[in-house]
Amino acid sequence: MDYTHQSGSPETPETEGAAAREEVAEALERLAFLAVRHLASRDISFTAASTLGRLDREGPARLTALAADEGVTQPSMTQLIQRLERQELVTRVDDPHDGRVVLVAITDGGRALLAQRRRDRTARLAGLLATLPPEDEQALATAVRAAAPALQRLATGAGRTRRPPGGSAS
């Protein structure tokens, strides 16, 4: 198959790679839209859910580190943590290495909320998948099995790339 630029010149390996990356990026954007618009619970904000998930995966953290990791200002994170504390989803604990420092930790209630949100998302997604013809479901299953390792590496790499506080992902 002969791919050409809009100018009519043949594709080079570099432009083919760029085109493939753009195609994958557009597909992942559609998946992100699906996740945010059709699968996400509206019980807590995205930042609250992300913060709880981070605390669940990584353990207690300083409020300043949470703010930086979530790309929000420290005052915004302080307000969020206060709301989550009132809901008994997080608690403040002493840093075992520095008695002057207070860390934020997820509670059993926070873990239970995250688990329920995962179950709800899975059920909603299963319902959406059930609307597809069997051959589409099979194609998606095959694609997911093939792409899972690369997606894991992508997610791991994205976790190392932090936005500055107050920055946007547009």
Predicted confidence (pLDDT) per residue in 105-127, tens digit:
999 999 999 999 999 989 998 99
> The domain containing residue 18 runs over which residues?
13-42
Counted domains in the chain:
2
**What is the spatial distance between Cα 44 and Cα 50, in angstroms, rounded to a whole number?**
10
Q: Are residues 90 and 33 in the same domain?
A: no
Torsion angle of the four alpha carbons 147, 151, 154, 156, in this order, in degrees rounded to the nearest 10: -140
**What is the spatial distance between Cα 75 and Cα 89, in angstroms, rounded to a whole number?**
19
Q: Does residue 120 lie within any of the structural domains?
A: yes
Q: Give the model confidence (pLDDT) of 59-100 as tens digits.
A: 999 999 999 999 999 999 999 999 999 999 999 999 888 888
Q: Are residues 24 and 59 in the same domain?
A: no
